[in-house]
Amino acid sequence: MDVIKTATTPFPDQKPGTSGLRKQVTVFQQAHYLENFVQSIFDTQRLAGGTLVIGGDGRFYNRQAIQVILRLAAANGVAKCLVGQGGILSTPAVSCVIRKYQTNGGIILSASHNPGGPQGDFGIKFNTDNGGPAPEKVTEAIYQRSLALAEYRTLDTEDVDLDTIECFNLGGMHVEIIDPVSDYAELMAEQFDFAAIRELLSGDFRMAFDAMHAVTGPYARRIIEEQLGAPAGTVLNGIPLEDFGGGHPDPNLAHAAELVAMTQGDDALDFAAASDGDGDRNMILGRNIFVTPSDSLAVLAANADAFPPWRNGIPGIARSMPTSQAADRVAEKLDIPCFETPTGWKFFGNLLDAGRIAFCGEESFGTGSSHVREKDGLWAVLAWLNLLAARRRPVADIVHAHWETFGRNYYSRHDYEGVDAASAETLMTTLRARLGELSGSTISGRSIRLADDFSYTDPIDGSVSAHQGIRILFEDGARIVFRLSGTGTVGATLRVYLESLETDPARQREDTQETLADLIRLADEIAAIRQHTGREQPDVIT
């Protein structure tokens, strides 16, 4: 089979964001667009002669993209590709397979929680041989290459069959279509006490898991229903659809409202959970309680002894900067370090590789451990089931007891979506210019301890990532953080993160938005949000 060199011109817009290259499907459908990005990966990474894992969340264009990537991989001398059956592999499953078979990396096709379908979004992400998202120096090299590319290498072949578990040869490259679930399911069984969870689920405990018509359906059915014995029908929306049934596969209070309703009222479930498009996010609900992702990380870390790999404790925790400081309070009590990293899972990679941390998380519904190098939605769900099986107490009891011991960090994120990009930039630059003046000042009776633009120095390799979000830190432990999203595809999204600490147990049951009302008002006073965005209210509150 002949390798074809196709002349092309670079696309100037292939700079990866927080989590890979994410664009509208129509952008990816332009001639040569995907090919250029993929060739830029092959030109900058040593993959010739190596093995690559390929899979995605099943959204529209997933199958076409995999065909394109397989042809380019073969033409660029890749020796072997492991591909999920039907083109399906969740993000944490890709990480698991890369690590288990010690491959040279993987390519994930997903736009995560963004809507799918012909008018929706698509995305591509390269993971390195540790199983994690490529660090900034790698994504930057790929981007620079994409700006200079003049040709790509491919094959002139028919599409291959992605649906049958088998091995075949494609232009000298060995292709293996693998069961997307089995390696991952095996890993989960090592992380948790499956016998205890099985016993919990065989009693009167009632739960639901919403796969949101996205990638986790097959994983949840196999693990939660078949292996752990939950009744058939426990997994809702369990068949991956190309358009996710028209919904946002985003597990949060706004987009999983039906599931939330199932945990309220007289007939409320004991436990409910959901995951996102590519299976790396999670939402945890108990009867009449939503566990914020920041609290979830803190609670799991405080109860690490319930999990078989961590019976003897954990070395450390990490959280992304905007994530609440609930985990810091746990780390302090356990006398272990808590690292504060920029937004995006790639920043946890070095700490996990070095064994400095066991658990890490983000406020954006991301939780995980050192078992893979991605956040892992089902892992978090199984962790909570394991915890409930070990403690035999309702979710709300566990969380309330946690707050009594460690204090409660009230937390909320306000998103202003699809804002004019220039106006959003102006808001940020105006704020940045005022940091010196804000630091140490008092505003509406509240003292600001420090106002800065977060910069991170990786403790392992010393690399520096600057301009990771503006922090306004108050003397009383409250915080407001401002940053612009790096995953959107239309205009800009301004994220405002609000947090305040309450250590008095008598006052810990109050409403989050009410408790944060003063900070919400201050955020507008400090950054002139309404003026710059032209919006009176955020679009999404989580």
CA 332 to chain centre: 26
Q: How far is the CB of 309 from Co ion (least distance, A)?
A: 24
- CA 308 vs CA 47, 78, 108, 313, 357: distances in Å: 36, 38, 30, 10, 16
| List 35, 57, 276, 295, residue binding ligand VG1 (CB under 6 A) | 276
110 tagged catalytic: no
- Using CB under 6 A, which of the segments 264-272, 302-310, 460-468, 480-488 binds ligand VG1? 480-488
The interface partner of residue 210, options being ligand VG1, Co ion, none and the CB cut-off 5 to 8 Å by kind, is none
The interface partner of residue 131, options being ligand VG1, Co ion, none and the CB cut-off 5 to 8 Å by kind, is none
Q: Is 468 in the site for ligand VG1 (CB under 6 A)?
A: no
DSSP 8-class letter at 367:
E
The interface partner of residue 146, options being Co ion, ligand VG1, none and the CB cut-off 5 to 8 Å by kind, is none
Instruction: Quote the CA–CA distance of 187 and 165 in Å, as a whole number.
Output: 21
Considering only residues 356 through 375, tell me which ones interact with ligand VG1, judged by CB under 6 A.
362, 364, 366
Q: Is 485 in the site for ligand VG1 (CB under 6 A)?
A: yes
Residue with the two structure tokens 């600490």: 501
Nearest to 69 by CA among 206, 187, 162: 162
Residue with the two structure tokens 């999990």: 307
Q: How far is the CB of 283 from ligand VG1 (least distance, A)?
A: 12
Instruction: Quote the CA–CA distance of 477 and 472 in Å, as a whole number.
Output: 10
Instruction: Quote the CA–CA distance of 346 and 440 in Å, as a whole number.
Output: 33
Binding mask 276-295 for Co ion (x = CB under 5 A): x-x-xx--------------
Q: How far is the CB of 317 from ligand VG1 (least distance, A)?
A: 16
If the CB atoms of residues 270 and 417 are measured against ligand VG1, the closer one turns out to be: 417
| List 275, 292, 343, 370, residue binding ligand VG1 (CB under 6 A) | 343
Q: Is 345 in the site for ligand VG1 (CB under 6 A)?
A: yes
State the number of CA atoms in the 13 A half-sphere of 59 facing the CB.
34
Considering only residues 432 through 461, tell me which ones interact with ligand VG1, judged by CB under 6 A.
none
CA 427 to chain centre: 26
Q: Is 495 in the site for ligand VG1 (CB under 6 A)?
A: yes
The interface partner of residue 18, options being Co ion, ligand VG1, none and the CB cut-off 5 to 8 Å by kind, is ligand VG1
- Spatial contact of 321 and 345, defined as CB atoms under 8 Å apart: no
Instruction: Quote the CA–CA distance of 356 and 351 in Å, as a whole number.
Output: 5
Q: Is 280 in the site for ligand VG1 (CB under 6 A)?
A: yes
| List 39, 51, 112, 127, residue binding Co ion (CB under 5 A) | 112
Instruction: Quote the CA–CA distance of 36 and 151 in Å, as a whole number.
Output: 8
- Using CB under 5 A, which of the segments 5-13, 275-283, 289-297, 457-465 binds Co ion? 275-283
Nearest to 404 by CA among 505, 486, 474: 505
Instruction: Quote the CA–CA distance of 425 and 529 in Å, as a whole number.
Output: 12
| List 50, 245, 315, 486, residue binding ligand VG1 (CB under 6 A) | 486
Binding mask 231-270 for ligand VG1 (x = CB under 6 A): ----------------------------------------
If the CB atoms of residues 366 and 538 are measured against ligand VG1, the closer one turns out to be: 366
Instruction: Quote the CA–CA distance of 203 and 283 in Å, as a whole number.
Output: 23
Residue with the two structure tokens 């649906």: 163
- Using CB under 6 A, which of the segments 162-170, 326-334, 341-349, 503-511 binds ligand VG1? 341-349
Nearest to 286 by CA among 363, 428, 122, 400: 400
- Using CB under 5 A, which of the segments 108-116, 174-182, 229-237, 427-435 binds Co ion? 108-116
Q: How far is the CB of 401 from ligand VG1 (least distance, A)?
A: 28
Q: How far is the CB of 364 from Co ion (least distance, A)?
A: 9
Instruction: Quote the CA–CA distance of 110 and 123 in Å, as a whole number.
Output: 5
Q: How far is the CB of 281 from Co ion (least distance, A)?
A: 5
Instruction: Quote the CA–CA distance of 137 and 149 in Å, as a whole number.
Output: 18
If the CB atoms of residues 278 and 458 are measured against Co ion, the closer one turns out to be: 278
Please name the amino acid found at residue 340.
Answer: E
Please name the amino acid found at residue 458.
Answer: D
Catalytic residue chosen out of the listed positions 19, 40, 110, 112: 112
- Using CB under 5 A, which of the segments 99-107, 132-140, 251-259, 272-280 binds Co ion? 272-280
Please name the amino acid found at residue 301.
Answer: A
Q: Is 18 in the site for ligand VG1 (CB under 6 A)?
A: yes
Structure tokens belonging to residue 127 = 């993971």
The interface partner of residue 76, options being Co ion, ligand VG1, none and the CB cut-off 5 to 8 Å by kind, is none
Where is 530: in which H helix or E strand? helix 529-533
Instruction: Quote the CA–CA distance of 454 and 467 in Å, as a whole number.
Output: 6
CA 435 to chain centre: 30
Which residues neighbour 204 within 8 Å (Cβ) at sequence distance 6 or greater?
A: none
Q: How far is the CB of 180 from ligand VG1 (least distance, A)?
A: 18
Instruction: Quote the CA–CA distance of 93 and 110 in Å, as a whole number.
Output: 13
Q: How far is the CB of 19 from Co ion (least distance, A)?
A: 7
Considering only residues 177 through 216, tell me which ones interact with ligand VG1, judged by CB under 6 A.
none
Q: Is 252 in the site for Co ion (CB under 5 A)?
A: no
**Within 76-193, where are the H helices?**
91-100, 136-146, 182-191
Q: How far is the CB of 495 from Co ion (least distance, A)?
A: 16
Nearest to 344 by CA among 96, 58, 136: 136
The interface partner of residue 19, options being Co ion, ligand VG1, none and the CB cut-off 5 to 8 Å by kind, is ligand VG1
Residues at the contact surface with ligand VG1, assessed by CB under 6 A: 18-19, 112-113, 276, 280-281, 320, 343-345, 362, 364, 366, 485-487, 495
Return the active site residues: 112
Residues at the contact surface with Co ion, assessed by CB under 5 A: 112, 276, 278, 280-281
